[in-house]
Structure 1
Amino acid sequence: MFYSLLLALFSAQTLGAETPMSGAEFERYSTGKTIHYADQNQSFGAEQYLPNRHVRWSYQNGPCKDGIWYENDELICFVYDDDPEPKCWAFYQRNGHLVAIYENDPENPPLLETKQSRKPLLCLGPQIGV
């Protein structure tokens, strides 16, 4: 229910008239934080924003992926060590929270910031055992 209300407040249609965050604005907002995101009714994942535009991503408490981000026009694009294909997003700031629209597939629902902290992202180690 909470995520549905947030989604209604931050729909792509209402964001269309706004200007996405610049790389400098995004860097000021995110560096040093771990930000948790949700789409529609469920947790989506979390990203730790490290110095020098480095990141660490975990999809729903799965293994972590390291990468970098860069600005491309009005988009923030991420490239991860295991995938050279850029993942580009338009980030907006609404009521003190991030809203992210995935530009590789704009039909996807927006991701909404649900929580942030200064704690590092918990990364599970490799699968070991029988």
Structure 2
Amino acid sequence: MTLLSRASVALIALAALPALAQEAPPPAPDTGPPLSAEAFDARTVGRTITYSSAGLPYGVEQYLPGRRVLWAFAEGECKEGTWFQAEELICFDYEDENGLQCWTFFDTPDGLIARFEGRTDQAPLVSLTESPEPLACQGPEVGV
């Protein structure tokens, strides 16, 4: 192969990189092993955690004893629910039209990271703040 041919092949390969990068899912953060139910409960119970997704506010969840939760999307009404472990997933049941919401949780030096079941192409939830204060619920059903 001549020097000119090698240069042409290299240019074609470089030109294809942006297209390949757009199709590939974002890399998983350095997360370590997923949290088990026991580790998730120990990490969250008694806390109210605010989450973001792709840098935007997503929602807030208060973790209560007995694997109970209180969830609100950013500026939304609160929903009561429960959670349980299914293999490596932590699944939330708010008994609503959305059905089960299952996530893989990781504890990192920067906080909790949650990836929605089977959606490696979707931005994970990242914990922004944690507080021992209860969730301030809006609307007619104030919650716990």
Greater C-alpha Rg = 2
1:82–1:26 CA distance, 2 compared to 1 (3 A): same
Question: Who is 2:60 aligned against?
Answer: 46
Name the aligned partner's letter for residue 55 of structure 2.
N
Aligned pairs, number: 116
Q: TM-score, normalised by structure 1?
A: 0.81
Q: Find the residue that maps to 1:52 and give its secondary structure.
A: coil
Q: Offset of 1:84 from its aligned partner? A: 6.5
Root mean square deviation, CA, Å: 1.9
Is there any run of 5+ residues in structure 2 with no aligned partner, and where?
A: 1-25
Task: After TM superposition, give the deviation of residue 120 of structure 1 in Å.
Answer: 0.6
Matches within 5 A, 1:1-130: 12-15=27-30, 18-83=32-97, 85-95=99-109, 97-126=111-140
Percent identity over paired residues: 36
Bigger fraction of residues in strand: 1
Residue 64 of structure 1, CA deviation: 0.3
CA distance in 1, matches of 2:55, 2:28: 19
1:6 match: none
| TM-score of the superposed pair, with normalisation by structure 2 | 0.74
* Partner deviation per Cα, 1:42-87 (whole Å, 9 max, x = no partner): 1100000001000000000210000000000011000003247211
CA 1:110–1:12 in 2, change beyond 3 Å: closer, same or farther? farther
8 Å Cα contact 1:87-1:104 kept in structure 2: no
| 1:95 maps to amino acid | P
Counterpart amino acid of residue 37 in structure 1: Y
Q: Deviations over 1:7-54 (max 9, x none)?
A: xxxx652347x3100000000000000000001121100000001000
| Cα distance in structure 2, aligned partners of 1:12 and 1:54 | 32
Give the C-alpha shift of residue 108 in structure 1. Answer: 1.7
Stretches of structure 1 lacking an aligned partner (at least 5 in a row): 1-10
Runs of 4+ in 1 over 4 A off after TM superposition: none
